[in-house]
Structure 1
Amino acid sequence: MFSEAGTCTLTPETTQGPYYFDADKVRADIREDRPGTTLRLALKVQDSETCAPLPNAVVEIWHCDANGLYSGAEAQSTGGTGGPPAGAPPAGGPPPGGTGTSAGMADLTPTDDQRYLRGAQVTSAAGIVEFTTVWPGWYRGRTVHIHVLVHVGNERVLTSQLMFDEALNSAVFADAPYAARTGRDTFNDEDTLFEDSMLLKVTRQADGCLGALVLAADPDRNGR
């Protein structure tokens, strides 16, 4: 799958969004009690200049649940029931009470003790991490996505997002628990951050889906 899931081209950088914080959860299965279609993720991290794998890099992912809620920020996210996520800052601005930065936005100070759908893994010698999660839900103003952050040493070297083919989104959202929510307003071709290179290569399995993508990071931060 990796041969069809990306090249050595530098992965596009995006904002980390308003709901990132260090959840301190090194784990492969991040589902906890969240219902949804099982999604297994395989991500390969490599150097964008040399194409060599990046071992011992920390890869964090986080995303909303089937109701559009983010753990640690349930009050702010509120499922995106009207307009942009509640509590989201103006574009490019930090949320109140945040600390640290990544791609121009400050880290969130959590407002609840939930940590579902957040986790980190360390890349293998081949630069690979694997996660088990559920297919993300949606909220108004954004297409379906998973946030990803790559650390090498103490540096954040890539902040990006993983996205999904819309035919697959439609198929997943036709089933429970997603089907209970209607009114999705933003799709890939309308999303301001979407790029084709962010699309996961997804295959259907008997008990869910498997998604893969190559992430090409720039550890020396020279833009190549």
Structure 2
Amino acid sequence: MSDHHEGQRVSRRSMFAGVGSIGLGTLLAACGSQAGGSSTVTTSTGESASVTPQTATDATDLFAGTNTCTLTPDTTQGPYYFDADKIRADIREDREGVRLRLALKVQDSETCAVLPNAVVEIWHCDAAGLYSGAEDQSSGGGGTPPGPPPENGERPGGGPGGGDQDLVPTDDKRYLRGAQVSNAEGVVEFTTIWPGWYMGRTVHIHVMVHVSNERVLTSQLMFDEELNSAVFARQPYAAHTGRDTFNDGDNIFEDSMLLKVAQDGDGYLAAIVLSADSDKDGA
């Protein structure tokens, strides 16, 4: 990817910089009242800010290969979800790792119509297997022993936030967490790093879709194991040894969760279509 295009992405991200403190509640309310295009929200300082959804036109070919109206599998949100209050595209902060541009297209599972103005959140661990807001728990501290997870596919949270309850953060870190608003084509794009791994789970990214202030999809995104192996041979991933769970042994993995991935300069571009039950009628 050229410096010119990288600058364009930074410019688009800057439009969200002023709304990073509005929180999902305000953002969801604003997006729920919009039919398309940009949304206007009020920040905590009382100022108005325009939230202009991103585009990911260079992911078109990848989306074409993943176009489906089949309902995306709903999964546990795991013990490490909370509203990180970060409306942003670049979620890396100080985390080192292989750059990953993630393009997600949201559509209705019944009509196949794209869903503009949906709020899409992602969160995942860093190269060492740690989650921001829960570094102690995700490292095996906080009363949570390291080792294989229970049958729901996630380790217990060691207190509030375990299972599918929202986590009460135990540290002030917010890396590798963020939310974006889908554009007129139903697309959001994030810049992050390739996730690491932790005991008992394959490599994954958590994703949650909100429509009209409702959580309509909670799922996980996975990667081809050949690509995982190639990435984990590089630093800082190579310093984290002893991986014990792969896609074929993970109790949440499904083929439909696999991202379509292409080389993107010194990193990767990954894309998938998420088909959500936007009216929550079970179809």
TM-score (ref. length: structure 2): 0.73
Instruction: Evaluate the alpha carbon distance shift between residue 46 and residue 84 of structure 1 in structure 2; reply closer, same or farther with a 3 A threshold.
Output: same
- Give 4+ residue runs of structure 1 displaced > 2 Å after superposition: 79-82, 88-99
Deviation at 1:98, TM superposition (A): 3.7
Structure-2 residue corresponding to 1:5: 66
Larger Rg: 2
Correspondent of 1:96 among 143, 151, 159: 159
Structure-1 residue corresponding to 2:41: none
Could you list the per-position Cα deviations for residues 85-113 of structure 1 after superposition, in whole angstroms to 9, with x for gaps in the alignment?
A: 7xx998798863349xxxx7110000000
Identity %: 73
Deviation at 1:179, TM superposition (A): 0.6
List aligned pairs for 1:180-195, cutoff 5 A: 180-195=239-254
Could you list the per-position Cα deviations for residues 130-175 of structure 1 after superposition, in whole angstroms to 9, with x for gaps in the alignment?
A: 0000000000000000000000011000000000000000000000
Whole-Å Cα distance in 2 between the matches of residues 157 and 24 of structure 1? Answer: 19
Q: Which amino acid aligns with 1:211?
A: A
List aligned pairs for 1:42-121, cutoff 5 A: 42-78=103-139, 82-84=146-148, 96-98=159-161, 105-121=164-180
Q: Which amino acid aligns with 1:97?
A: P
Q: How many residues are matched?
A: 218
Whose RCO is larger (CA < 8 A, sep 6+)? 1
Structure-2 residue corresponding to 1:166: 225
Q: Which amino acid aligns with 1:41?
A: L
Name the SS for the 2:243 alignment partner. Answer: coil
Higher helix share: 2
Alpha-carbon contact 2:139-2:146 (below 8 Å) kept: no
Name the SS for the 1:106 alignment partner. Answer: coil
Q: Which amino acid aligns with 2:132?
A: S
Q: Which amino acid aligns with 2:98?
A: T
Structure-2 residue corresponding to 1:16: 77
Structure-1 residue corresponding to 2:35: none
Name the SS for the 1:65 alignment partner. Answer: coil
Q: Which amino acid aligns with 1:47?
A: D
Structure-2 residue corresponding to 1:201: 260
Instruction: Evaluate the alpha carbon distance shift between residue 97 and residue 79 of structure 1 in structure 2; reply closer, same or farther with a 3 A threshold.
Output: closer
Alpha-carbon contact 2:86-2:178 (below 8 Å) kept: yes
Correspondent of 1:41 among 74, 77, 102: 102
RMSD: 2.2
Whole-Å Cα distance in 1 between the matches of residues 194 and 67 of structure 2? Answer: 21
Whole-Å Cα distance in 2 between the matches of residues 95 and 24 of structure 1? Answer: 23
Name the SS for the 1:107 alignment partner. Answer: coil
Instruction: Evaluate the alpha carbon distance shift between residue 79 and residue 178 of structure 1 in structure 2; reply closer, same or farther with a 3 A threshold.
Output: farther
Indicate yes or no: 2:125 matched with 1:125: no
Q: Which amino acid aligns with 1:44?
A: K
Q: Which runs of 5+ in 2 are unaligned?
A: 1-61
Instruction: Evaluate the alpha carbon distance shift between residue 91 and residue 42 of structure 1 in structure 2; reply closer, same or farther with a 3 A threshold.
Output: closer
TM-score (ref. length: structure 1): 0.92
Deviation at 1:53, TM superposition (A): 0.4
Higher strand share: 1
Alpha-carbon contact 1:83-1:140 (below 8 Å) kept: yes
Q: Which runs of 5+ in 1 are unaligned?
A: none
Q: Which amino acid aligns with 1:40?
A: R
Instruction: Evaluate the alpha carbon distance shift between residue 7 and residue 89 of structure 1 in structure 2; reply closer, same or farther with a 3 A threshold.
Output: closer
Alpha-carbon contact 1:59-1:120 (below 8 Å) kept: yes
Alpha-carbon contact 1:95-1:107 (below 8 Å) kept: no
Instruction: Evaluate the alpha carbon distance shift between residue 187 and residue 63 of structure 1 in structure 2; reply closer, same or farther with a 3 A threshold.
Output: same
Whole-Å Cα distance in 2 between the matches of residues 6 and 95 of structure 1? Answer: 39
